[in-house]
Amino acid sequence: MIRAGIIGATGYAGGELVRILTGHKDVKVVWYGSRSYIDKRYADVYQNMFRIVDARCMDDNMEELAEQADVIFTATPQGFCASMMTEEILGKTKIIDLSADYRIKDVKVYEEWYGITHKSPQFIEEAVYGLCEVNREEIKKARLVANPGCYTTCSILTAYPLAKEGLIDMNTLIVDAKSGTSGAGRGAKVPNIYCEVNENIKAYAVASHRHTPEIEEQLGYAAKEEVVVNFTPHLIPMNRGILATEYASLKEKVTYDEVKAVYDKYYKDESFIRVLEEGVCPETKWVEGSNYVDINFKIDPRTNRIIMMGAIDNLVKGAAGQAVQNMNLLFGLPEEEGLRMVPMFP
């Protein structure tokens, strides 16, 4: 039985980790960390866990937790995990960090986009970017996994096969993405309260969203060239889900079957990526509550562009589900264990 600890267990991603791990046959959660609710019963914070989780919330002492847990999930704001990380901790347990602290290899880029000083840059090179469908073998050997961001997971996986095969001009790539409000976290913020969000859609962090360099770096590895993208996120009035619509110029004329063959080359054996049938556009409602990514594309011969579309649940494949998928790889378990949730509808 894997002993798991969660720091940040009362945020949205942390709560989703608890929900998923509670149903995982090989895991026992031994630590529900939450600085805001120390000694409060977890089920009093999340009533859906009444008579399911009897534990009380604990603090965020990673050194003590490392003595008790085989794996620690840090579902915390940027900077926390980096400020706590030591060689002693990594020598005792595995870390899956859901923040951005170890996602970006260039510490200067991280500090520029996140506006904070990185407290443990010595571990950045070692950290493995936890996009399972791309870095599966490297993840299996890791001590420290950088769990990808929600927008980035959807954006990268949607375009990855075409970037990898050199079918698109990466200089023309535009990513337009919409997210439900849970992506902004559980903290009280005026722009995210009901009256501000309901009956509204808005772009935000235009040309400045923090997931931009992460998308550029990972697609750059795929394309083997420096990649610069326009990434524009939007907030929409729903709880969860991300839809990314991506546009790029094709390097040469291709047919539907040729592009479909490229997607199948990379994804036909992937448990959680579903390339949809021709003409079917991904929708967030068909992945809600699941670890699936639904992807499709449309060639526009008039403009010689391709439109790529992807949908995920931002809290599952975009956060907690992907973290559990990474954990399964780390411990040699079937990758799908604990994640075989059928999408919820309605």
Whether 168 and 265 map to the same domain: the answer is yes
Whether 102 and 185 map to the same domain: the answer is no
Question: H or E segment at 223?
Answer: helix 212-223
3-state secondary structure of 274: strand
State which residues form the domain around 293: 151-314
Q: Has residue 290 been placed in a domain? A: yes
Q: Which residues contact 84 (CB under 8 A, 6 or more apart)?
A: 60, 62, 74
Nearest to 321 by CA among 333, 339, 336, 337: 339
Q: What burial class does residue 79 get, using C-beta atoms within 10 Å of its C-beta: 0-12 exposed, 13-18 middle, 19+ buried?
A: middle
Q: Has residue 192 been placed in a domain? A: yes
Strands 202-203 and 242-249: unpaired
Boundary (domain end) residue, out of 78, 109, 126: 126
d(CA 48, CA 216): 38
d(CA 77, CA 343): 28
Whether 167 and 118 map to the same domain: the answer is no
For position 310, which CATH number holds?
3.30.360.10
Q: Has residue 339 been placed in a domain? A: no
Whether 161 and 29 map to the same domain: the answer is no
Q: At how many degrees (to 10) do helices 212-223 and 107-114 cross?
A: 150
Which residues are annotated as catalytic? 150
Whether 39 and 117 map to the same domain: the answer is yes
Tokens representing residue 128 in the block: 């493995």
Nearest to 287 by CA among 264, 263, 310: 310
pLDDT at residue number 193: 87
Whether 9 and 87 map to the same domain: the answer is yes
d(CA 314, CA 236): 13
Tokens representing residue 333 in the block: 């378990």
pLDDT tens for 203-221 read 999 999 999 999 999 999 9
Give Cα 245 distance to the centre of its chain: 17
For position 74, which CATH number holds?
3.40.50.720
Whether 225 and 282 map to the same domain: the answer is yes
d(CA 276, CA 293): 10
pLDDT at residue number 188: 74
- Whether the CB-CB separation of 151 and 210 falls below 8 Å is answered with no
d(CA 241, CA 76): 20
* pLDDT < 70 stretches in the chain: none
Q: Which residues contact 130 (CB under 8 A, 6 or more apart)?
A: 96, 139, 145, 146, 147, 148, 322, 323, 326
Q: Has residue 336 been placed in a domain? A: no
Whether 62 and 157 map to the same domain: the answer is no
Q: What is the CA radius of gyration of the chain?
A: 20
Q: Has residue 188 been placed in a domain? A: yes
Tokens representing residue 174 in the block: 């535009």
Q: Has residue 138 been placed in a domain? A: no
Domains contained in the chain, number? 2
Q: Has residue 335 been placed in a domain? A: no
Residue type, 135: N
What's the start-to-end Cα distance of the chain, in Å? Answer: 34
Whether 281 and 240 map to the same domain: the answer is yes
Whether 230 and 176 map to the same domain: the answer is yes
pLDDT tens for 223-237 read 999 999 999 999 999
Whether 68 and 103 map to the same domain: the answer is yes
Whether 208 and 113 map to the same domain: the answer is no
- Whether the CB-CB separation of 56 and 80 falls below 8 Å is answered with no
Helices (DSSP H) in 128-180: which residue ranges?
132-140, 150-164
pLDDT at residue number 229: 98
Q: Has residue 69 been placed in a domain? A: yes
